[in-house]
Amino acid sequence: MKIFFYKTLFAGLVFFIVFKITIGSLLNEFERKMTDSLSKEKIEFVKEEVREQINQALKKEKIIKKNDAELIKKFLNKIKIELE
């Protein structure tokens, strides 16, 4: 019975180590990337970029092309019909 317990404990320990080395490191890397991409500085940077783009677009005479405007109008009309 002792041998079974030791073997089970050893197998569990090996499984835990292999899990941490492979899947655990992948999860840590993914978590780090998500934290970096959602950092406060990054969010503020994106907000500023959007503000600048909106200001530049407002200075233009036309914001979107005629083809794009017609496509957006058709899309919004379709949504409006489906909501009714």
| Cβ–Cβ under 8 Å, residues 36 and 42 | yes
Q: What distance lies between CA 19 and its chain's CA centroid? A: 25
Domain identity same for 25 and 45: no
| 36 CB-near residues (< 8 Å, 6+ apart) | 42
In the chain, % of residues over pLDDT 90: 40
Domain identity same for 27 and 47: no
Average pLDDT, the chain: 88
In the chain, % of residues over pLDDT 70: 100
Domain identity same for 2 and 26: yes
The residue among 68, 57, 53, 61 whose CA lies nearest residue 76 is 68
d(CA 14, CA 8): 10
For residue 4, the enclosing domain spans: 1-38
pTM: 0.41
Domain identity same for 46 and 78: yes
Structure tokens at 82: 């489906």
The residue among 65, 42, 46 whose CA lies nearest residue 54 is 46
Q: Tens of pLDDT along 25-48?
A: 888 888 888 877 777 788 889 899
Q: How many domains does the chain have?
A: 2
